[in-house]
Chain A
């Protein structure tokens, strides 16, 4: 099941990328996505039935909206710090604990953190995320955990786990 989903997704991706529906193109696309399936499908989600659950798609769209908004905010934040004459930065690496379990969810959370204002994921060891923060606002682990992961963690939990 996992292999089939991956194959179909790969073929759709190929067709969108080449944007031409003709027999030779579909044959080459099938061959390419078959090779990719054989190599990479074992890293795909465990449970592909989740992909057709509408409730998950709803939370995914909410997550996407929040994510794009925080991306735009991140850009203005960086632009402000860079253009300010005295450069208001207070950098450091902080440790943040996550409650997400699956690897895909953690990957999404790490990528989201990288795109949010002033934070950059350095490493994941066990349950801990190590995050480079350009302006450390608080020294209290509880407060900064909520500030960094709180927003995304609950949405990702809703649509992945």
Chain B
């Protein structure tokens, strides 16, 4: 029962992440939604898998995947956003500040 609740929460957050991916204006904001919601959503799903299987081969693998997912998602987001900036993609009109411009001139 607890496993089903945790997996449902994970799917819900993944859905929010996808809505954010469609609605937000530019690639930087979209990455925010994609990183945070989708990472925690997947972690909840993995936790649900662990609760469902208990301490067995599948359960332990799900638990180990959580820190790996955290590190790879954050590093991937960082690499993507930096690469995007250097490629020259403009920030949306609603942006109010850009300190990075001076640093990479």
A residues engaging B (CB < 8 A)? 13, 16-17, 19-20, 71-72, 74-75, 78-79, 81-83, 87, 89-95, 110-111, 114-115, 118, 120-123, 125, 128, 130, 132, 134, 136, 139
Contacts and interface: CB of A to CB of B under 8 A. Distances in A.
24 contacts: A13-B64, A19-B56, A19-B60, A71-B36, A75-B16, A78-B33, A78-B37, A79-B13, A79-B37, A82-B19, A82-B23, A92-B95, A92-B97, A92-B98, A94-B99, A110-B78, A114-B35, A120-B32, A121-B74, A122-B78, A123-B82, A125-B103, A130-B100, A136-B97
B19 to A, nearest CB: 5
A125 B31 CA distance: 21
Contacts of A75: 13, 16, 36-37, 40-41
Interface in B72-105: 74-75, 77-78, 81-82, 85, 91-92, 94-101, 103-104
Contacts, number: 121
Given A95-B103, A111-B71, A114-B74, A78 B20 contact: yes
B57 A123 contact: no
B29 interface: yes
Given A93-B100, A139-B97, 15 more contacts: A19-B56, A74-B40, A75-B13, A75-B37, A75-B41, A78-B17, A92-B98, A110-B78, A120-B31, A122-B78, A122-B85, A132-B28, A132-B81, A134-B32, A136-B96
A40 to B, nearest CB: 14
Interface residues of B, number: 46
Given A90-B94, A90-B96, A120-B35, A82 B74 contact: no
B103 A82 contact: no
B64 A115 contact: no
Interface string B1-44: 00000000000010011011001111011011101110111000
Contacts of A114: 35, 74, 77-78
Contacts of A19: 56-57, 60-61
A130 B37 contact: no
A123 B103 contact: yes
A17 B61 contact: yes
Contacts of A94: 97, 99
The 7 tightest CB contacts between A and B, nearest first, are A92-B97, A82-B20, A95-B99, A19-B57, A111-B74, A114-B74, A79-B16
